[in-house]
Amino acid sequence: MIKDKKHRQKLIARYLEADTTVQEEIMLAEYYQTHKAEDDEADIARLILMDYPKAEVLSDPERKKDIRQISLIFTAIAACITLIVMFIIPRTDAGFTPMEVVENMNLLMEMDNQNVESIVAEPKGTKVILTATMKDGSSTTFIMVRNRRDGSTRIVAQNE
């Protein structure tokens, strides 16, 4: 039954919620010790195998506490990686960081959030073209530029 991927996925989901018994965890660990984990299960297999020696000696409450701590550590690591990637991503060709573009898109959205359906940003040379599509199907184009004096960003409405 453990060889059935759907069954394994259900056990993994319960494992991540700290809702499995010690016997079920041992069963998962033994499976991953004797079978190569599929690509989408590799990370969880490593986690289960790291914890396997403890599974036989810990009671369920202790086990759940350990799993929660490990889950928190993995979540914290994932959050740190996300933040690092956000701030290390190189600027667009236009010289704007993704955060600057997103902030200006949000600013436009907030100006008329009742009528704006979506906003698309497209880097063009030293500028970013922001196109706001309204709920009625019309669209308005704005140009995002950098102020040469102080480095701030400006949004200029394009005359159509």
Residue pLDDT, tens place only, 35-71: 888 888 888 888 888 876 554 444 456 666 676 677 7
Residue finishing a domain among 57, 87, 117: 87
Question: How much is the average pLDDT of 77-87?
Answer: 70
- Domain co-membership, 50 together with 20: yes
134 DSSP assignment: E
Q: Find the domain containing 45 and state its range.
A: 5-87
- Domain co-membership, 82 together with 103: no
State the amino acid at position 71 in one-letter form: S
Residue 92 lies in a domain: no
Mean of per-residue pLDDT scores for the chain: 77
Number of domains the chain contains: 2
- Domain co-membership, 57 together with 108: no
Dihedral, CA of residue 83, residue 88, residue 91 and residue 92, to nearest 10: -70
- Domain co-membership, 82 together with 126: no
The pLDDT value recorded for residue 89 is 52
Question: How much is the average pLDDT of 125-141?
Answer: 85
Question: How much is the average pLDDT of 81-87?
Answer: 66
The pLDDT value recorded for residue 64 is 63
Residue 9 lies in a domain: yes
Residue 122 pLDDT greater than 60, yes or no: yes
Look up the pTM and report it.
Answer: 0.40
Residue 93 lies in a domain: no
Report d(CA 102, CA 159) in Å as an integer: 23
The pLDDT value recorded for residue 91 is 47
- Domain co-membership, 12 together with 39: yes
- Domain co-membership, 11 together with 77: yes
Residue 36 lies in a domain: yes
The pLDDT value recorded for residue 29 is 86
- Domain co-membership, 113 together with 144: yes
Gyration radius of the chain over CA positions: 25
